[in-house]
Amino acid sequence: MSDCPFCEPEEHRILLEEGPCRALRDLFPVSPGHALVVPKRHIVSFREMHAEEWAAAHALIQRMCDRIAEDDPDVQGFNIGINDGTAAGQTVMHAHIHIIPRREGDVADPRGGVRGVIPCKARYPI
C-alpha cells in the first residue's frame, strides 16, 4: 500500500530482514534504539500473521535485542509489545511489534512494565 509507512520503508530505516519480516527504526522512538518488527505483507493485525511470519518475527526480535544490547551496554531490559486495534492504541494500521530498550532509571518506577498501558493497573501487590 503506497500510503503505509511500513510497506515500502526508506532504506535507512531497515535494520535487519528475516524472510517475510523486517526490523525497522521507529520514527518516534520512546527510548534510544526503539525498533519495530513488521511483516512485509500488509496486514492490520498480528492475528493475521502466518506461522512463518511469526517465526521470522521471533528471530528478528531476538537478533534486534542482542544487537541493541551489544551496541549499548546501558540497556538492561526490553519491553516487547503490540498495539492491536485502535482501542489498544494502534495508530499505523499495519501489524508491528515494538522493541523498546530499557535502561536503569529511565522511569522512576518500572514495576508493572506493559501493565502501565492502564496506569491504575500497573502496580499490584507482590
CA distances, 58 to each of 75, 76, 104, 121, 124 (Å): 20, 20, 25, 28, 29
Question: What's the grid cell of residue 126?
Answer: 507482590
121 is written with which cell numbers? 493497573
User: Which pLDDT value is given to residue 122?
Assistant: 77
Successive 10-residue mean pLDDT values, the chain, 126 residues: 90 97 97 98 98 98 98 97 97 98 94 86 75
Q: How far apart are the first and last CA of the chain?
A: 46
Residues belonging to the active site:
96
Q: For the domain 11-121, what is the CATH superfamily, name and number?
A: HIT-like (3.30.428.10)
Give the total residue count for the chain: 126
